[in-house]
Amino acid sequence: MRTILLGPPGAGKGTQAETIVNEFSIPHISTGDIFRQNIKEGTTLGKKAKEYMDLGLLVPDELTVELVKDRLLKDDCRNGFLLDGFPRTIVQADALEEALNSMNQKLDYVINIEVNANLLVERAVGRRICKDCGQTYHMTFNKPIKDGICDKCSGELLQRKDDTEETVTKRINVYKEQTEPLIKYYTQKGIIVNIDGEKPISEVGEEIVAKLRGK
């Protein structure tokens, strides 16, 4: 299954990605995670990406598209993949289509997680990430058993640098301007699946899995 997760910052893409990839045994490809890993390792790509990410802006298409194209050529993507946070612009979407065409592949679904703007800031500002394993929590909606400690690996939970109210608000505006047009783009292609992302995490997950299984 070849799938994309679309939705504004804080919609729950990363959270639901975990359920989807377990259910369908496909790799989770998050461009945000790949950039953060590069920043951690101090690579050239990481240094460039950080300048944009800290400001809540999109990393330029040239950098992002090449990265994803290389990733999709890896063996583990042969039977499908879940793209999380890519594409985010029409240019990226066109480039993805071209890359898939050249591999004789096509997208099956675009899962569009819908959440009202007024809920997004609270979701993103309350987000905490395990510094060791990357697991996502929320201070109110998805708390760890012990404050500040990862349930899975006992790692320390940190806040992302771009999860401040100011930068999240900026990212939501960038989403509206540059990414939201993709909803129409994929609706016209007839592959969009709209999901109510305001329900509790487990219900959203069940709804996505049911729709992907064609129920």
Residues of this chain that interact with ligand ADP (CB under 6 A) are 7, 9-15, 31-32, 35, 52-53, 56-59, 64, 85-86, 88, 92, 123-124, 126-127, 136-138, 141-142, 162, 171, 197, 200-201, 204
- The answer to whether 61 and 89 are in contact (CB under 8 A) is yes
What is the spatial distance between Cα 93 and Cα 96, in angstroms, rounded to a whole number? 5
Least distance to ligand ADP, CB of residue 157, Å:
10
Instruction: Give the distance, in angstroms, between the CA of residue 152 and the centroid of all CA atoms in the same chain.
Output: 21
Exposed/middle/buried for 201, CB within 10 Å: 0-12, 13-18, 19+?
middle
Residue 78's φ and ψ, nearest 5 degrees, are -60, -40
At 160 the three-state DSSP class reads coil
Least distance to ligand ADP, CB of residue 37, Å:
11
From the list ligand ADP, Zn ion, none, pick the one residue 192 interacts with, judged by a Cβ distance below 5 to 8 Å according to partner type: none
- The answer to whether 72 and 99 are in contact (CB under 8 A) is yes
| Residue indicated by tokens 């951690």 | 40
Instruction: Give the distance, in angstroms, between the CA of residue 197 and the centroid of all CA atoms in the same chain.
Output: 14
- Give catalytic status of residue 213 as yes or no: no
- Give catalytic status of residue 152 as yes or no: no
Q: Which is nearer to Zn ion, 78 or 143 (CB)?
A: 143
Q: Which is nearer to ligand ADP, 104 or 203 (CB)?
A: 203
At 157 the three-state DSSP class reads strand
State yes or no: residue 113 binds Zn ion (CB under 5 A).
no
Q: Which is nearer to ligand ADP, 71 or 104 (CB)?
A: 71
Least distance to Zn ion, CB of residue 62, Å:
33
Residues contacting residue 209 through CB under 8 Å, at least 6 positions apart? 19, 20, 23
State yes or no: residue 155 binds Zn ion (CB under 5 A).
yes
- Give catalytic status of residue 88 as yes or no: yes
- Give catalytic status of residue 160 as yes or no: yes
Number of residues assigned to the chain: 215
Catalytic residue from among 13, 36, 50, 128 = 13
Least distance to ligand ADP, CB of residue 14, Å:
3
CA-CA distances (angstroms) from residue 204 to 92, 193, 212?
27, 13, 12
From the list ligand ADP, Zn ion, none, pick the one residue 64 interacts with, judged by a Cβ distance below 5 to 8 Å according to partner type: ligand ADP
Catalytic center residues: 13, 88, 127, 160, 171
Positions in the binding site for Zn ion (CB under 5 A) = 130, 132-133, 135, 150, 152-153, 155
